Structure 1
Amino acid sequence: MSLLSLADITVRFEPKGKPAVLALDNVSLTVAHNTFSVIVGPSGCGKSTLLRLVAGLETPTSGQMDLDGKPISGPSADRGMVFQSYTLFPWLTVRENVMFGPKLKNLPKSECEDIADTLIGSVHLKGFENSYPKELSGGMRQRVALARALANDPRILLMDEPFGALDSQTRQLMQELLLEIWQKHRKTVLFITHDIDEAVFLGDEVHVMSARPGRFKKTLSIDIERPRGIDVLTSPQFMEYKREILSLMHDEAMRAQMA
Protein backbone atom coordinates (compact mmCIF):
# COMPACT_ATOMS: atom_id res chain seq x y z
CA MET A 1 0.00 0.00 0.00
CA SER A 2 1.20 3.51 -0.80
CA LEU A 3 2.01 5.90 2.01
CA LEU A 4 0.18 8.82 0.37
CA SER A 5 -2.87 8.51 -1.86
CA LEU A 6 -4.78 11.32 -3.58
CA ALA A 7 -7.88 10.34 -5.55
CA ASP A 8 -9.82 12.60 -7.91
CA ILE A 9 -8.77 15.84 -6.20
CA THR A 10 -10.46 18.99 -7.51
CA VAL A 11 -9.92 22.49 -6.14
CA ARG A 12 -12.09 25.37 -7.24
CA PHE A 13 -11.54 28.83 -5.78
CA GLU A 14 -14.57 31.12 -5.74
CA PRO A 15 -13.42 34.58 -4.58
CA LYS A 16 -16.25 36.94 -3.77
CA GLY A 17 -17.13 39.17 -6.71
CA LYS A 18 -14.66 37.45 -9.05
CA PRO A 19 -14.89 34.57 -11.52
CA ALA A 20 -14.30 31.08 -10.11
CA VAL A 21 -10.87 29.55 -10.73
CA LEU A 22 -10.40 25.82 -11.29
CA ALA A 23 -6.94 25.25 -9.82
CA LEU A 24 -6.79 21.43 -9.81
CA ASP A 25 -8.97 19.15 -11.89
CA ASN A 26 -9.49 15.50 -10.97
CA VAL A 27 -5.90 14.91 -9.82
CA SER A 28 -4.81 11.49 -8.54
CA LEU A 29 -1.40 10.61 -7.13
CA THR A 30 0.22 7.83 -5.11
CA VAL A 31 3.55 8.11 -3.30
CA ALA A 32 5.25 4.92 -2.08
CA HIS A 33 7.07 4.55 1.22
CA ASN A 34 10.64 5.91 1.35
CA THR A 35 10.58 7.34 -2.17
CA PHE A 36 11.62 10.79 -3.34
CA SER A 37 8.77 12.11 -5.50
CA VAL A 38 9.00 15.42 -7.36
CA ILE A 39 6.22 17.48 -8.90
CA VAL A 40 7.25 19.91 -11.62
CA GLY A 41 5.10 22.19 -13.74
CA PRO A 42 4.64 25.72 -15.11
CA SER A 43 3.94 28.65 -12.80
CA GLY A 44 0.35 28.79 -11.63
CA CYS A 45 -0.43 25.14 -12.37
CA GLY A 46 -1.42 24.32 -8.78
CA LYS A 47 1.78 22.63 -7.53
CA SER A 48 1.88 24.51 -4.24
CA THR A 49 -1.88 24.20 -3.79
CA LEU A 50 -1.52 20.44 -4.06
CA LEU A 51 1.23 20.39 -1.44
CA ARG A 52 -0.79 22.57 0.91
CA LEU A 53 -3.67 20.12 0.58
CA VAL A 54 -1.41 17.27 1.66
CA ALA A 55 -0.14 19.41 4.54
CA GLY A 56 -3.73 19.94 5.66
CA LEU A 57 -3.49 23.71 5.19
CA GLU A 58 -6.23 23.75 2.55
CA THR A 59 -9.28 21.60 1.80
CA PRO A 60 -10.15 20.17 -1.62
CA THR A 61 -13.48 20.95 -3.24
CA SER A 62 -13.86 17.22 -3.87
CA GLY A 63 -11.78 14.06 -3.75
CA GLN A 64 -10.10 11.88 -1.14
CA MET A 65 -6.67 12.24 0.51
CA ASP A 66 -5.17 9.51 2.71
CA LEU A 67 -1.89 9.09 4.57
CA ASP A 68 -1.18 5.57 5.79
CA GLY A 69 -4.76 4.71 4.89
CA LYS A 70 -6.22 7.43 7.11
CA PRO A 71 -8.00 10.54 5.76
CA ILE A 72 -6.09 13.83 5.85
CA SER A 73 -8.30 16.32 7.64
CA GLY A 74 -5.87 18.99 8.85
CA PRO A 75 -2.24 19.72 9.81
CA SER A 76 -0.37 17.09 11.81
CA ALA A 77 3.15 16.35 13.01
CA ASP A 78 3.16 13.30 10.72
CA ARG A 79 3.76 15.73 7.84
CA GLY A 80 6.84 17.97 8.01
CA MET A 81 6.76 21.10 5.84
CA VAL A 82 9.64 23.16 4.44
CA PHE A 83 8.65 26.35 2.61
CA GLN A 84 10.60 28.51 0.17
CA SER A 85 10.57 31.44 2.59
CA TYR A 86 12.52 31.28 5.81
CA THR A 87 9.95 30.33 8.43
CA LEU A 88 12.22 30.06 11.46
CA PHE A 89 11.33 31.74 14.74
CA PRO A 90 13.71 34.73 14.80
CA TRP A 91 13.73 34.94 18.61
CA LEU A 92 14.95 31.34 18.98
CA THR A 93 18.45 29.99 18.44
CA VAL A 94 19.25 27.24 15.95
CA ARG A 95 19.00 24.57 18.65
CA GLU A 96 15.79 26.04 20.06
CA ASN A 97 14.20 26.15 16.59
CA VAL A 98 15.00 22.48 16.01
CA MET A 99 13.80 21.53 19.51
CA PHE A 100 10.48 23.32 19.07
CA GLY A 101 8.49 20.35 17.72
CA PRO A 102 9.81 17.74 20.16
CA LYS A 103 9.12 20.12 23.06
CA LEU A 104 5.50 20.43 21.91
CA LYS A 105 5.29 16.65 22.23
CA ASN A 106 6.40 17.04 25.85
CA LEU A 107 9.47 14.90 25.33
CA PRO A 108 12.10 15.12 28.09
CA LYS A 109 14.49 18.04 27.71
CA SER A 110 17.49 15.73 27.34
CA GLU A 111 15.78 13.85 24.50
CA CYS A 112 14.87 17.13 22.75
CA GLU A 113 18.49 18.24 23.00
CA ASP A 114 19.75 14.91 21.65
CA ILE A 115 17.38 15.11 18.67
CA ALA A 116 18.44 18.69 17.94
CA ASP A 117 22.15 17.97 18.23
CA THR A 118 21.91 14.92 15.95
CA LEU A 119 20.02 16.82 13.24
CA ILE A 120 22.18 19.93 13.52
CA GLY A 121 25.12 17.63 12.84
CA SER A 122 23.28 16.07 9.89
CA VAL A 123 22.81 19.48 8.23
CA HIS A 124 26.43 20.44 8.97
CA LEU A 125 25.72 23.31 11.35
CA LYS A 126 27.72 22.23 14.38
CA GLY A 127 29.18 25.36 15.97
CA PHE A 128 26.08 27.41 15.12
CA GLU A 129 23.75 25.87 17.73
CA ASN A 130 23.45 29.13 19.66
CA SER A 131 23.21 31.44 16.64
CA TYR A 132 19.99 33.26 15.73
CA PRO A 133 18.46 33.14 12.22
CA LYS A 134 19.50 36.73 11.44
CA GLU A 135 23.12 35.65 11.90
CA LEU A 136 22.89 32.92 9.25
CA SER A 137 23.03 32.91 5.45
CA GLY A 138 20.00 31.89 3.40
CA GLY A 139 21.34 28.40 2.80
CA MET A 140 22.09 27.93 6.50
CA ARG A 141 18.57 29.02 7.43
CA GLN A 142 17.09 26.44 5.09
CA ARG A 143 19.30 23.80 6.64
CA VAL A 144 17.85 24.73 10.03
CA ALA A 145 14.32 24.60 8.55
CA LEU A 146 15.05 21.11 7.21
CA ALA A 147 16.38 19.95 10.58
CA ARG A 148 13.34 21.41 12.33
CA ALA A 149 10.97 19.57 9.97
CA LEU A 150 12.81 16.28 10.56
CA ALA A 151 12.82 16.73 14.34
CA ASN A 152 9.20 15.57 14.58
CA ASP A 153 10.11 12.34 12.76
CA PRO A 154 7.33 12.90 10.17
CA ARG A 155 5.93 10.12 7.99
CA ILE A 156 6.40 12.35 4.92
CA LEU A 157 8.47 15.47 4.28
CA LEU A 158 6.74 18.12 2.15
CA MET A 159 9.02 20.67 0.43
CA ASP A 160 7.65 23.65 -1.50
CA GLU A 161 10.45 25.00 -3.72
CA PRO A 162 12.72 25.22 -0.64
CA PHE A 163 15.81 26.26 -2.61
CA GLY A 164 14.12 28.70 -5.01
CA ALA A 165 15.48 31.83 -3.31
CA LEU A 166 19.10 30.61 -3.22
CA ASP A 167 21.88 31.37 -5.69
CA SER A 168 22.73 28.57 -8.12
CA GLN A 169 25.88 27.37 -6.33
CA THR A 170 24.23 27.27 -2.91
CA ARG A 171 21.18 25.61 -4.45
CA GLN A 172 23.27 22.77 -5.88
CA LEU A 173 25.01 22.26 -2.54
CA MET A 174 21.63 22.15 -0.78
CA GLN A 175 20.36 19.56 -3.25
CA GLU A 176 23.37 17.37 -2.54
CA LEU A 177 22.91 17.83 1.22
CA LEU A 178 19.22 16.95 0.96
CA LEU A 179 20.05 13.71 -0.86
CA GLU A 180 22.69 12.91 1.76
CA ILE A 181 20.13 13.39 4.54
CA TRP A 182 17.48 11.45 2.61
CA GLN A 183 19.84 8.51 2.14
CA LYS A 184 20.55 8.58 5.90
CA HIS A 185 17.03 9.04 7.30
CA ARG A 186 15.13 7.49 4.36
CA LYS A 187 12.05 9.67 4.73
CA THR A 188 9.33 9.77 2.10
CA VAL A 189 9.63 13.13 0.32
CA LEU A 190 7.16 15.05 -1.85
CA PHE A 191 9.08 17.93 -3.42
CA ILE A 192 7.72 20.83 -5.49
CA THR A 193 9.88 22.68 -8.02
CA HIS A 194 9.75 24.44 -11.38
CA ASP A 195 13.43 23.61 -12.02
CA ILE A 196 13.84 20.63 -14.35
CA ASP A 197 17.48 19.92 -13.44
CA GLU A 198 16.53 19.87 -9.76
CA ALA A 199 13.62 17.53 -10.41
CA VAL A 200 15.70 14.95 -12.28
CA PHE A 201 18.69 15.21 -9.92
CA LEU A 202 16.59 14.60 -6.80
CA GLY A 203 13.70 12.40 -7.81
CA ASP A 204 12.94 8.70 -7.96
CA GLU A 205 9.94 9.80 -9.99
CA VAL A 206 8.96 13.11 -11.55
CA HIS A 207 5.30 14.03 -12.03
CA VAL A 208 4.84 16.65 -14.75
CA MET A 209 1.79 18.89 -14.35
CA SER A 210 -0.18 20.67 -17.02
CA ALA A 211 -0.99 24.37 -17.07
CA ARG A 212 -4.05 25.43 -15.05
CA PRO A 213 -6.27 23.67 -14.34
CA GLY A 214 -3.56 21.42 -12.95
CA ARG A 215 -3.57 17.79 -14.02
CA PHE A 216 -0.76 15.25 -14.18
CA LYS A 217 0.40 15.04 -17.76
CA LYS A 218 3.05 12.34 -17.36
CA THR A 219 5.06 10.53 -14.66
CA LEU A 220 8.67 9.57 -15.35
CA SER A 221 10.60 7.00 -13.32
CA ILE A 222 14.15 8.34 -12.97
CA ASP A 223 16.41 5.34 -13.44
CA ILE A 224 19.69 6.99 -12.42
CA GLU A 225 21.81 5.14 -9.88
CA ARG A 226 22.14 6.51 -6.34
CA PRO A 227 24.00 8.08 -4.65
CA ARG A 228 24.07 10.92 -7.16
CA GLY A 229 26.78 13.56 -7.50
CA ILE A 230 27.21 16.57 -9.77
CA ASP A 231 28.71 14.36 -12.49
CA VAL A 232 25.17 13.08 -13.08
CA LEU A 233 24.17 16.51 -14.43
CA THR A 234 26.16 16.02 -17.64
CA SER A 235 25.39 12.35 -18.24
CA PRO A 236 23.49 11.33 -21.41
CA GLN A 237 20.82 9.66 -19.28
CA PHE A 238 20.21 12.87 -17.30
CA MET A 239 20.06 14.95 -20.46
CA GLU A 240 17.49 12.61 -22.02
CA TYR A 241 15.17 12.94 -19.00
CA LYS A 242 15.68 16.70 -19.04
CA ARG A 243 14.90 16.91 -22.76
CA GLU A 244 11.63 15.02 -22.35
CA ILE A 245 10.44 17.07 -19.37
CA LEU A 246 11.50 20.32 -21.05
CA SER A 247 9.40 19.42 -24.09
CA LEU A 248 6.37 18.65 -21.92
CA MET A 249 6.83 21.86 -19.92
CA HIS A 250 7.31 23.99 -23.05
CA ASP A 251 4.05 22.73 -24.51
CA GLU A 252 2.22 23.58 -21.30
CA ALA A 253 3.83 27.01 -20.99
CA MET A 254 2.75 27.86 -24.54
CA ARG A 255 -0.77 26.65 -23.83
CA ALA A 256 -0.92 28.77 -20.69
CA GLN A 257 0.15 31.89 -22.60
CA MET A 258 -2.51 31.37 -25.24
CA ALA A 259 -5.32 30.70 -22.76
Structure 2
Amino acid sequence: MLDAHPNRLPNLVGVGYKPQHFQAIMDDPSPVGWLEIHAENYMGDGGRPLAQIRHLADRFPISVHGVGLSIGGESRLDPEHLARLKHLVSWLNPAVFSEHLAWSTHDSHFYNDLLPLPYTQDTLTRVADHIDELQNTIGRQMMLENPSSYLAFAESTWSEPDFLREIAKRTGCGLLLDVNNVFVSATNLDYDPKQYINDYPLEHVGEIHLGGHDEDEDDHGHVLLIDSHGAAVVDPVWALLDHTLAKAGPKPLLIEWDNDVPDWPELAAEAQRGVYALSKQAALA
Protein backbone atom coordinates (compact mmCIF):
# COMPACT_ATOMS: atom_id res chain seq x y z
CA MET A 1 0.00 0.00 0.00
CA LEU A 2 1.58 3.27 -1.10
CA ASP A 3 1.75 6.30 1.19
CA ALA A 4 -1.31 8.41 0.43
CA HIS A 5 0.62 11.62 1.18
CA PRO A 6 4.01 10.89 -0.38
CA ASN A 7 5.51 14.37 -0.59
CA ARG A 8 5.79 16.10 2.76
CA LEU A 9 8.53 18.58 1.87
CA PRO A 10 7.70 22.25 2.44
CA ASN A 11 8.02 24.73 -0.42
CA LEU A 12 11.27 25.97 1.09
CA VAL A 13 14.97 25.67 0.29
CA GLY A 14 16.93 22.60 1.37
CA VAL A 15 20.58 21.66 1.09
CA GLY A 16 22.40 18.40 0.61
CA TYR A 17 23.56 17.51 4.12
CA LYS A 18 27.29 17.06 4.79
CA PRO A 19 28.52 15.92 8.24
CA GLN A 20 31.03 18.79 8.49
CA HIS A 21 28.07 21.18 8.55
CA PHE A 22 26.23 19.43 11.39
CA GLN A 23 27.03 21.86 14.18
CA ALA A 24 26.55 24.95 12.03
CA ILE A 25 23.11 23.74 10.96
CA MET A 26 22.15 22.98 14.54
CA ASP A 27 23.39 26.38 15.72
CA ASP A 28 21.80 28.47 12.96
CA PRO A 29 19.84 26.57 10.30
CA SER A 30 18.54 29.61 8.39
CA PRO A 31 17.90 29.72 5.46
CA VAL A 32 17.46 25.92 5.36
CA GLY A 33 13.96 24.44 5.55
CA TRP A 34 14.86 20.79 4.93
CA LEU A 35 17.80 18.47 4.25
CA GLU A 36 18.66 15.81 1.69
CA ILE A 37 20.86 12.77 2.32
CA HIS A 38 22.16 10.11 -0.06
CA ALA A 39 20.61 6.78 0.86
CA GLU A 40 23.77 4.75 0.36
CA ASN A 41 25.60 6.75 3.06
CA TYR A 42 23.10 5.73 5.75
CA MET A 43 22.42 2.06 5.19
CA GLY A 44 24.64 0.89 8.05
CA ASP A 45 23.53 -0.17 11.50
CA GLY A 46 24.88 2.58 13.75
CA GLY A 47 27.62 5.08 14.49
CA ARG A 48 27.87 8.86 14.39
CA PRO A 49 26.32 9.33 10.90
CA LEU A 50 23.05 7.68 11.91
CA ALA A 51 23.03 9.43 15.29
CA GLN A 52 23.39 12.80 13.56
CA ILE A 53 20.62 12.06 11.08
CA ARG A 54 18.26 10.92 13.84
CA HIS A 55 18.96 14.21 15.63
CA LEU A 56 18.45 16.30 12.49
CA ALA A 57 15.25 14.43 11.61
CA ASP A 58 13.72 15.74 14.84
CA ARG A 59 14.11 19.29 13.48
CA PHE A 60 13.95 19.06 9.70
CA PRO A 61 12.05 17.17 7.00
CA ILE A 62 14.52 14.77 5.37
CA SER A 63 14.62 13.84 1.68
CA VAL A 64 16.41 10.58 0.86
CA HIS A 65 18.06 10.54 -2.57
CA GLY A 66 19.30 7.24 -3.99
CA VAL A 67 22.24 6.98 -6.38
CA GLY A 68 22.78 3.22 -6.64
CA LEU A 69 19.56 1.42 -7.56
CA SER A 70 20.17 1.44 -11.33
CA ILE A 71 16.50 2.01 -12.14
CA GLY A 72 17.25 1.80 -15.86
CA GLY A 73 19.48 -1.27 -15.73
CA GLU A 74 18.65 -4.38 -17.76
CA SER A 75 19.00 -6.67 -14.73
CA ARG A 76 16.47 -6.85 -11.91
CA LEU A 77 16.89 -4.48 -9.01
CA ASP A 78 19.38 -5.76 -6.42
CA PRO A 79 17.23 -7.37 -3.69
CA GLU A 80 19.86 -6.75 -0.98
CA HIS A 81 20.06 -3.07 -1.89
CA LEU A 82 16.26 -2.88 -1.86
CA ALA A 83 16.14 -4.51 1.58
CA ARG A 84 18.66 -2.03 3.02
CA LEU A 85 16.73 0.86 1.47
CA LYS A 86 13.46 -0.42 2.90
CA HIS A 87 15.05 -0.58 6.35
CA LEU A 88 16.35 2.99 6.07
CA VAL A 89 13.00 4.36 4.89
CA SER A 90 11.16 2.44 7.62
CA TRP A 91 13.09 3.85 10.58
CA LEU A 92 13.79 7.34 9.19
CA ASN A 93 10.33 7.90 7.65
CA PRO A 94 11.64 10.60 5.28
CA ALA A 95 9.46 13.17 3.61
CA VAL A 96 10.33 11.76 0.17
CA PHE A 97 12.53 9.24 -1.61
CA SER A 98 13.97 9.86 -5.08
CA GLU A 99 16.24 8.15 -7.60
CA HIS A 100 17.72 8.78 -11.06
CA LEU A 101 16.55 7.87 -14.54
CA ALA A 102 19.83 6.10 -15.30
CA TRP A 103 21.67 2.79 -15.06
CA SER A 104 24.89 1.95 -13.23
CA THR A 105 25.03 -1.86 -13.17
CA HIS A 106 25.59 -4.67 -15.66
CA ASP A 107 25.57 -8.29 -14.52
CA SER A 108 27.61 -8.17 -11.29
CA HIS A 109 29.50 -4.98 -12.18
CA PHE A 110 28.75 -1.59 -10.65
CA TYR A 111 29.87 1.60 -12.43
CA ASN A 112 30.47 4.79 -10.50
CA ASP A 113 28.44 6.78 -13.02
CA LEU A 114 24.79 7.47 -13.77
CA LEU A 115 24.62 6.34 -17.39
CA PRO A 116 21.99 7.44 -19.94
CA LEU A 117 19.23 5.42 -21.58
CA PRO A 118 17.58 5.34 -25.00
CA TYR A 119 13.95 6.42 -24.76
CA THR A 120 12.23 3.43 -26.37
CA GLN A 121 9.22 1.27 -25.58
CA ASP A 122 11.45 -1.46 -24.15
CA THR A 123 13.17 1.03 -21.85
CA LEU A 124 9.80 2.44 -20.79
CA THR A 125 8.51 -0.99 -19.81
CA ARG A 126 11.70 -1.91 -17.93
CA VAL A 127 11.89 1.37 -15.98
CA ALA A 128 8.18 1.23 -15.12
CA ASP A 129 8.54 -2.34 -13.84
CA HIS A 130 11.50 -1.35 -11.68
CA ILE A 131 9.66 1.64 -10.25
CA ASP A 132 6.64 -0.52 -9.45
CA GLU A 133 8.88 -3.00 -7.61
CA LEU A 134 10.63 -0.21 -5.71
CA GLN A 135 7.44 1.56 -4.68
CA ASN A 136 5.81 -1.69 -3.56
CA THR A 137 8.93 -2.58 -1.54
CA ILE A 138 9.23 0.72 0.35
CA GLY A 139 5.46 1.27 0.55
CA ARG A 140 5.46 4.80 -0.78
CA GLN A 141 5.71 6.87 -3.92
CA MET A 142 9.17 7.70 -5.24
CA MET A 143 10.29 10.61 -7.41
CA LEU A 144 12.32 10.09 -10.58
CA GLU A 145 15.03 12.61 -11.58
CA ASN A 146 15.78 13.67 -15.15
CA PRO A 147 19.41 12.96 -16.16
CA SER A 148 22.21 15.17 -17.38
CA SER A 149 23.06 13.99 -20.90
CA TYR A 150 26.22 14.06 -22.99
CA LEU A 151 24.92 12.18 -26.03
CA ALA A 152 21.61 11.29 -27.68
CA PHE A 153 20.54 7.83 -28.82
CA ALA A 154 19.52 7.41 -32.45
CA GLU A 155 17.03 4.70 -31.46
CA SER A 156 15.06 6.95 -29.08
CA THR A 157 11.41 7.25 -30.10
CA TRP A 158 10.27 9.46 -27.20
CA SER A 159 11.36 12.93 -26.16
CA GLU A 160 12.63 13.02 -22.58
CA PRO A 161 9.67 15.08 -21.24
CA ASP A 162 7.17 12.75 -22.91
CA PHE A 163 9.03 9.68 -21.64
CA LEU A 164 8.93 10.98 -18.06
CA ARG A 165 5.27 11.94 -18.42
CA GLU A 166 4.43 8.40 -19.48
CA ILE A 167 6.49 6.88 -16.66
CA ALA A 168 4.62 9.01 -14.11
CA LYS A 169 1.28 8.05 -15.69
CA ARG A 170 2.03 4.31 -15.65
CA THR A 171 3.57 4.04 -12.19
CA GLY A 172 2.11 6.91 -10.18
CA CYS A 173 5.62 8.08 -9.32
CA GLY A 174 6.43 11.75 -8.89
CA LEU A 175 9.16 13.63 -10.71
CA LEU A 176 12.24 15.42 -9.43
CA LEU A 177 13.18 18.19 -11.86
CA ASP A 178 16.89 19.01 -11.85
CA VAL A 179 17.12 22.40 -13.57
CA ASN A 180 20.90 22.26 -13.81
CA ASN A 181 20.63 18.89 -15.57
CA VAL A 182 18.25 20.49 -18.08
CA PHE A 183 20.74 23.29 -18.75
CA VAL A 184 23.66 20.86 -19.06
CA SER A 185 21.79 18.55 -21.43
CA ALA A 186 20.41 21.42 -23.53
CA THR A 187 23.89 22.89 -23.97
CA ASN A 188 25.49 19.54 -24.81
CA LEU A 189 22.73 18.40 -27.18
CA ASP A 190 21.93 21.85 -28.62
CA TYR A 191 18.30 22.42 -27.74
CA ASP A 192 16.36 25.18 -25.98
CA PRO A 193 16.20 24.59 -22.20
CA LYS A 194 13.16 26.84 -21.80
CA GLN A 195 11.27 24.83 -24.39
CA TYR A 196 12.22 21.66 -22.50
CA ILE A 197 10.66 23.16 -19.36
CA ASN A 198 7.59 24.20 -21.36
CA ASP A 199 7.18 20.58 -22.53
CA TYR A 200 7.90 19.02 -19.13
CA PRO A 201 5.05 17.45 -17.07
CA LEU A 202 5.38 20.02 -14.30
CA GLU A 203 2.17 18.82 -12.66
CA HIS A 204 4.08 15.74 -11.43
CA VAL A 205 7.06 17.65 -9.99
CA GLY A 206 7.48 17.38 -6.23
CA GLU A 207 11.00 18.74 -5.89
CA ILE A 208 13.48 20.87 -7.86
CA HIS A 209 17.28 20.54 -7.76
CA LEU A 210 19.96 23.10 -8.52
CA GLY A 211 23.69 22.46 -8.64
CA GLY A 212 26.94 23.52 -10.23
CA HIS A 213 28.66 22.19 -13.32
CA ASP A 214 32.08 22.30 -14.97
CA GLU A 215 32.82 23.50 -18.49
CA ASP A 216 35.01 21.48 -20.86
CA GLU A 217 35.36 20.88 -24.61
CA ASP A 218 34.60 17.82 -26.69
CA ASP A 219 36.91 16.42 -29.37
CA HIS A 220 35.55 18.93 -31.88
CA GLY A 221 36.14 21.99 -29.69
CA HIS A 222 32.46 22.40 -28.76
CA VAL A 223 31.45 23.35 -25.23
CA LEU A 224 30.76 20.31 -23.06
CA LEU A 225 29.18 20.80 -19.65
CA ILE A 226 29.77 18.24 -16.89
CA ASP A 227 27.26 17.89 -14.06
CA SER A 228 29.84 17.98 -11.25
CA HIS A 229 27.95 19.29 -8.18
CA GLY A 230 31.26 20.94 -7.30
CA ALA A 231 30.62 24.66 -7.80
CA ALA A 232 28.09 27.42 -7.30
CA VAL A 233 24.97 27.55 -9.48
CA VAL A 234 25.62 29.75 -12.53
CA ASP A 235 23.41 32.72 -13.43
CA PRO A 236 21.83 31.11 -16.55
CA VAL A 237 20.63 28.22 -14.37
CA TRP A 238 19.12 30.64 -11.85
CA ALA A 239 17.36 32.32 -14.79
CA LEU A 240 16.06 28.94 -15.97
CA LEU A 241 14.79 28.32 -12.44
CA ASP A 242 12.86 31.62 -12.60
CA HIS A 243 11.25 30.44 -15.85
CA THR A 244 10.41 27.08 -14.25
CA LEU A 245 8.85 28.55 -11.11
CA ALA A 246 6.80 31.00 -13.19
CA LYS A 247 5.20 28.00 -14.92
CA ALA A 248 5.12 25.48 -12.07
CA GLY A 249 4.58 27.66 -9.01
CA PRO A 250 6.58 27.25 -5.78
CA LYS A 251 8.23 23.89 -5.16
CA PRO A 252 10.69 22.49 -2.61
CA LEU A 253 14.10 23.62 -3.88
CA LEU A 254 17.41 21.87 -3.16
CA ILE A 255 20.96 23.20 -3.47
CA GLU A 256 23.30 20.29 -4.32
CA TRP A 257 27.03 20.67 -3.60
CA ASP A 258 28.67 17.26 -3.29
CA ASN A 259 32.29 17.84 -4.41
CA ASP A 260 34.75 20.49 -3.23
CA VAL A 261 32.17 21.22 -0.55
CA PRO A 262 32.51 24.78 0.82
CA ASP A 263 32.30 25.96 4.40
CA TRP A 264 28.81 26.46 5.75
CA PRO A 265 28.58 30.26 5.18
CA GLU A 266 29.16 29.84 1.43
CA LEU A 267 26.60 27.04 1.12
CA ALA A 268 24.12 29.00 3.23
CA ALA A 269 24.58 32.01 0.95
CA GLU A 270 23.79 29.82 -2.06
CA ALA A 271 20.66 28.59 -0.27
CA GLN A 272 19.70 32.20 0.37
CA ARG A 273 19.67 32.80 -3.39
CA GLY A 274 17.12 30.00 -3.58
CA VAL A 275 15.03 31.70 -0.91
CA TYR A 276 15.13 34.87 -3.02
CA ALA A 277 14.04 32.95 -6.14
CA LEU A 278 11.04 31.48 -4.32
CA SER A 279 10.09 34.84 -2.78
CA LYS A 280 10.24 36.54 -6.19
CA GLN A 281 7.81 34.00 -7.57
CA ALA A 282 5.51 34.40 -4.57
CA ALA A 283 5.49 38.18 -5.08
CA LEU A 284 4.53 37.77 -8.74
CA ALA A 285 1.80 35.20 -8.08
Q: Same fold (TM over 0.5)?
A: no
Q: Which has the higher contact order (CA 8 A, sep 6+)?
A: 1
In which range does the TM-score fall when normalised by the shorter chain? 0.3 to 0.5
